[in-house]
Structure 1
């Protein structure tokens, strides 16, 4: 009997999205399921950076830096308006390294891998012109990386996969794995958002479930590589509070870890922490000590700014599924490489980073070849399928929506934002929105960017949700209360 699909992908973050797209581009019949919402985990709670991994050079991981730089440059070429260059100023403060000479050597190699020169140097006398108020001891090194909207990048990849025939289902959980007479995994039992279960037969399963890989492994009766879930927390401030025109990086005075602040969508991101997060049963949120740590970082490099907790508009924390080395080392010293593990028709993908999602997907499919013998080699060299430009639509919307930009980029701008009402309508109609946080935290970022978690927008949003989703007034009220409670708990500023 022909299976329902060739490949079942578990996980709707950037890793799973990459696998679904890469498989669909090779002609496989793909089904992807996500237990919560697309990009619910680290793929909407990252530092929003598409970076080449400059710090990996310090640990000797040249291959990882090379791979990351190459993927960064490809994303910049293919997704203008969604992935954009940003200049960095790396302030040198004693006694933390690296010093000027070491940093410039590393940046020379960084530029060589990227095939373009972006490095530079600023003296202490230059700093007030580049970054007013920035404290330095030995000037600053200049370089470039890139930034993105991580959730929209994930959704754009999923959109491309769906356009090639992939079936996508969010709020759908795995309850059991099914095996054939030889013990090979050949299907799964899934519970949809309606509460009903169904069986789906497939040739192979790829689990890209991030730190929750252990749950899938338990169902499979397997013991995959051990993960070390690490929490990274961030602050979002109004940009007027610390009006930076470029990204600034420096070493934290307490432990020498790299921290940063940079402008993003008209606001300022400050990050990040790197702490063990063993309790996966609760949604991650910033802890009071992390808030103090990041504010201390700002006070160290911008001592005259006087930024306090009262200036923080909102926060977020994501959990990185890092491969455990089982060595007594600090979280920041763990490798960010990805790892692929395969057994009995189940392929597990873990670790890695946002920038290299395409390479991770290719590695997962290579490991799946024993169960997908007809899988063709990739014949495309671009990360996403190319589309003709949409006439009259700015790059921002073309990068975010691709071929659908003409449909989505309609209507007036929502006051104080760069989001159009047409984008919300399009998401409500076509992107499987089931809760308000799906719409305001991931389809758009209005819940983070607007004051008060966009509470003032909700009355105008109610008739749109009732029209497109069929919600009653009571249903919307319940969703509103759920959303505001969740935002206060998970994205608020701890006391």
Structure 2
């Protein structure tokens, strides 16, 4: 950051620190562009940390004949799993057959197509099962006797955003969370922007601009162009509830509902079950989104239709909601709106690319296509690279993605535990899942448990807090407990207060060194 008051100069200013903005910043930095990524809040603070945590093709989209979207997402599924096997993993989904809903032959045909729309290297194919005596049948009501099982993947969505931003930073990008883009002026060959960070106004001169503001994309486009964008967004709220664990096994469930929607029930953080999502039209402020009582009742109703153990709103230990910025396609219901994306290019002056729509599974492909246009437009053409690259911490068995990281993750964890046999096994596994090989950075200089420093909250030591503040832009207890980790589910408000107090005592929530360093020439 310049102390002289001069404008920060970069090739590309990316506004929006969700998964699409972070993915574009990473891809562009890896092609040699000087990138500045900013967000008015924390990285992934909104839609990108409020998903169903799935890497999937979208089985239900086949009903809406979105074969292209499903094929694209399925092709990305194993690419992503290989790129970050510590924060992603394969997951088997059980779909109990309800005779009063879709016929079995139709489900079987859909799964046959789902298995074949894209190549599978290590995910098993779908199958039909009898629930009697099967582990997946035990938590279900006895009237459900048949089910279909298929493969997709699970992801820690908030960490996926952070790892993309971290990779972008390590390739030269300047990453500025909690930085509002307030002013934008377009010129023939550059953009002038005013960024507000901690009360300071930073001037930026960028050769190109990316609008990846998610639910705020339309308003940012109007701010940049002085006119409404050509594409219209339809904001849809998706809400989830978390309840005490309803089943012991590691599979997930997909439940069909008579209204045509589907609801997932996922094993979550060991002791819980995650249930969602809803699809509700949203007209309010995206900053104020929250689950409604009717949504909570709806999700409980769907779960109670299938599970023996009944849940009520009083059983909900946590809930979250996100606003999905979906492309308006004149669909009659929120559930039927396309989850595909559109990249709107504008070269009438300095280049502008706006991102509308999308889903977390296709973020890498979206970013690749965005930079395929941006790099030549900025006179810096370079080949795409992310399909064969790992995210930070994903290099479990070497520098290139392969199936070993996915299929032999437990073996890698066992080796980590042998190297640090003083770590409690549960803590070693949590570090492995969150940080992968970057666990060694967190544990540097530690040879016994006291070397991690004080236990600020149960299972959360000073060494991890320092790592998150120095390397991952954590600046509050919420950043740590609800996005960088999910320890907030296991800890109470007093522990959160202790974490916040400890972070403040470190000198006022420092940003990473990257956020105080000028962009490379």
Class of the TM-score when normalised by the shorter of the 2 chains? 0.7 to 0.9
Partner of 1:354: 360
2:112 to 108, 113, 125: 108
Is the alpha carbon distance of 1:222 and 1:397 closer, same or farther for their aligned partners in structure 2, counting shifts above 3 Å? farther
Cα RMSD for the two superposed structures: 2.7
Is the alpha carbon distance of 1:84 and 1:129 closer, same or farther for their aligned partners in structure 2, counting shifts above 3 Å? closer
Partner of 1:484: none
SS across alignment from 1:58: helix
Give yes or no for the alignment of 1:434 onto 2:489.
no
CA drift of 1:466 comes to 3.8
Partner of 1:319: 323
Alignment of 1:246-257 (within 5 A): 246-253=251-258, 255-257=259-261
Partner of 1:481: none
Alignment of 1:61-460 (within 5 A): 61-97=66-102, 99-112=103-116, 113-115=118-120, 116-126=123-133, 130-134=137-141, 136-137=143-144, 139-180=146-187, 182=188, 185-192=190-197, 194-220=198-224, 221-224=226-229, 225-239=231-245, 241-253=246-258, 255-266=259-270, 267-280=272-285, 282-302=287-307, 304-325=308-329, 327-343=330-346, 344=348, 345-369=351-375, 371-379=377-385, 381-384=387-390, 387=395, 392=416, 397-398=431-432, 400-402=434-436, 404-408=438-442, 411=452, 422-447=463-488, 449-450=489-490, 454-458=492-496, 460=498
Partner of 1:491: none
Contact 2:286 / 2:323 at 8 angstroms: preserved in 1? no
Cα distance in 1 for partners of 2:213, 2:74 equals 25
Is the alpha carbon distance of 1:463 and 1:372 closer, same or farther for their aligned partners in structure 2, counting shifts above 3 Å? same
1:146-187 deviation digits (Å, cap 9, x = unpaired): 11111011111111111111100011111111222x4x5523
1:192-246 deviation digits (Å, cap 9, x = unpaired): 1x2121210111011111010122112121322100010000001121x554532
Question: What residue ranges of structure 2 are gaps of 5+ in the alignment?
Answer: 1-5, 398-411, 418-427, 447-451, 510-521
Partner of 2:512: none
1:271-296 deviation digits (Å, cap 9, x = unpaired): 01001111125421100110110111
State the number of aligned residues: 460
Is the alpha carbon distance of 1:424 and 1:2 closer, same or farther for their aligned partners in structure 2, counting shifts above 3 Å? closer
Partner of 2:28: 23
CA drift of 1:308 comes to 1.1
Moved more, 416-425 or 305-314: 416-425
Contact 1:131 / 1:244 at 8 angstroms: preserved in 2? no
Give yes or no for the alignment of 1:36 onto 2:41.
yes
1:286-321 deviation digits (Å, cap 9, x = unpaired): 00110110111111112x312111211010001111
> What is the TM-score with the length of structure 1 in the denominator?
0.86
Contact 2:27 / 2:386 at 8 angstroms: preserved in 1? no
Cα distance in 1 for partners of 2:82, 2:456 equals 31
Is the alpha carbon distance of 1:395 and 1:219 closer, same or farther for their aligned partners in structure 2, counting shifts above 3 Å? same
Is the alpha carbon distance of 1:379 and 1:16 closer, same or farther for their aligned partners in structure 2, counting shifts above 3 Å? closer
